[in-house]
A and B are shown apart, each in its own frame.
Chain A
Amino acid sequence: MGRRSLNAGHLRYVWPVQRVAVITGASSGIGEATARALADRGWHCVLLARREALLRRLADEIGGEAEPCDIGDRAAVETTAGRILARHPSVHALVNNAGIPARQSFADVDLDLVEQVARVNYLGGVWLTRALLPALQPAPGGTRTHVVNVASVAGTVAFSPSGAYTAAKHAQLTFSRSLQASLRGSGIAVHSILPGFVETDGFPQRALLEHRLLRHIVVQPERVAETIAKALERRGREVVVPWFPYRPAILLSGIAPGLVSRVGGRAVARSRAFQAKAAAAPPERR
């Protein structure tokens, strides 16, 4: 048994073997928070990210393993997956969380970034899932295993201030939803997690947090990590976190997609422009 599971208040069952979770983008943000939440619940975590130093420190702290890997590099993903499979013939959960921002509109975003964002936020998750799929097959009579895709509300509502990001997230969410349909009844549960704005190192939300109203729609990564940990006790489903105001916005976008993305995009673009201006202004004027 894992050392930490003995004093973990959340643990409901004692597993005969420690369950193995593979988490991407684990060096910071939602990935790091998820690794901590799962370790607290007795999971053995295999952590993937590019930044080796951060990854090793976290791995030591939670008794996990570090696998430095750029998820946007298909050959690297396949090599890393091979190493993980050699050590862990059974994987009980894969959390596809790695993602990078692209905070520009499609009219002026750098074209190299468009490709990179598509690889990291969409294809990387596809590659890793496919490589680990044999290890995710539950043993006959065994418990359910899980694939968790950390998508975004921007995967279903087009968010123009981050054009290339929203497009890659649309593709990723489609992958997640489609995989869930394909693997239904196989014992592998697929979860789509759709966070709204989350304050992390990779995705700082200073502009929104300084806004009188918009700060209420930003959540902390621990909240998303809790959602993921809960999902691992359930059947495959789709969760929007926080529910408000994002879920109503998604519903409305089913009828008026253009309107929702215009209003949402404008509000955020304005607050970002305001924040950028305020940050540039001399201190006495602030």
Chain B
Amino acid sequence: MTSASSRHRRVAVVTGASSGIGQATARLLARRGWHCVLIARREDVLRRLASELGAEVEVCDVADRAAVAATTASILERHPEVDLLVNSAGILARGSFVDAPLDLIEQALVVNYLGCVWMTRGLLDGIRAAARTGGRAHIVTIASIGGAIVFTPAAPYSASKHAQVAFSRSLRASLRGSGVEVHTILPGFVTTPGFPHPKIFAGPLGRPFVIGPEKVAAKVLSAVESGKAEAIVPWFPYGLGAMAQAIVPTITARVLRRFDYPDEG
């Protein structure tokens, strides 16, 4: 069996790798010498990226528990030690709890929360093994600031992300001392194909609050290197919102209710 020192490259598994934050993170990790296993649904996009990065491909829908179990088992067969898991797969679910379709509410929970739990549990033995030989291994959860601030224009999304943040925070506490570090990344509005951002941010005043996926990828890497538990990117103004929710949750939710979300990106 390979130990961390004899292995040439550290192994990273990235979900939602076909676009957006997942893709940017995979690119950055590959540039820094990590061996990446890319997971997403769209095989053609994934294969193109994999051949560009010299990475591996696993086509998998994280919303399908059996598929996640099969995929993680096949990854562990090839890589008994996984140094890093980046849970980046996620979907947007717009609308309020008064009008969002019930199927969408459920789907958001499955993809954004349960899929992340299944993937993590499926790979946990490999992550623990890497921590035993290498001293440290990492699980990074790409949540959202919508997981720390109630965001009614995409309420089912926000609820699923709150669940995911709670998962990530409590898993960190549970794995303390095992060498496995769990990091929670809470991005604000990011320009990606899957997530169009509200009109208010198209104006000159809003633009600084929208970042590219590369910024989030950089934060993932720096969290892994520094051991940071939680990072809001960019901290301003989103960090203030998270604090506001702890102090005056009702007012915070009410203020954000009126955000204008476009129908199409």
Residue of A nearest to B146 (CB): A174
Say yes or no for B236: interface residue by CB 8 A criterion.
Answer: no
CB-defined contacts of B254 to chain A, threshold 8 Å: 180-181, 184
A253 to B257, CA, bound (A): 23
Do A168 and B163 touch across chains, with their CB atoms under 8 A apart?
yes
A130 to B95, CA, bound (A): 14
Interface size class of A (residues with CB under 8 A): 35 or more
Do B102 and A160 touch across chains, with their CB atoms under 8 A apart?
no
Do B102 and A251 touch across chains, with their CB atoms under 8 A apart?
no
Do A118 and B170 touch across chains, with their CB atoms under 8 A apart?
no
Do A254 and B163 touch across chains, with their CB atoms under 8 A apart?
no
* In the complex, chain A residues 146-200 whose Cβ is within 8 Å of any chain B Cβ: 156, 158-160, 163-164, 166-175, 177-184, 192
CB distance from A122 to the nearest CB of B (A): 7
Do B117 and A111 touch across chains, with their CB atoms under 8 A apart?
yes
Cβ proximity bits A239-275 to B, threshold 8 Å, 1 near / 0 not: 0000000000011011101100110011000000000
CB-defined contacts of A126 to chain B, threshold 8 Å: 97, 102, 105
Do B124 and A74 touch across chains, with their CB atoms under 8 A apart?
no
**Which has the most chain B C-beta neighbours within 10 Å: A175, A238, A265, A266?**
A175
Partner of B253 from A105, A171, A178, A258 at Cβ < 8 Å: A178
A127 to B97, CA, bound (A): 10
Partner of B109 from A106, A118, A182 at Cβ < 8 Å: A118
Do A159 and B97 touch across chains, with their CB atoms under 8 A apart?
no
Of the listed stretches B45-53, B78-86, B129-137, B154-162, chain A binds B154-162
Partner of A170 from B120, B124, B166 at Cβ < 8 Å: B166
Do B173 and A181 touch across chains, with their CB atoms under 8 A apart?
no
CB distance from A222 to the nearest CB of B (A): 26
Say whether, besides A174-B150, A178-B159, A254-B242, A158 and B118 are in contact (CB < 8 Å).
Answer: no
Nearest 3 CB-CB pairings of A with B:
A254-B246, A158-B169, A160-B170
B-to-A contact residues, CB < 8 Å: 65, 96-98, 102, 105-106, 109, 113-114, 117-118, 120-121, 124, 150-152, 155, 158-160, 162-167, 169-176, 229-230, 242-247, 249-250, 253-254, 256-257
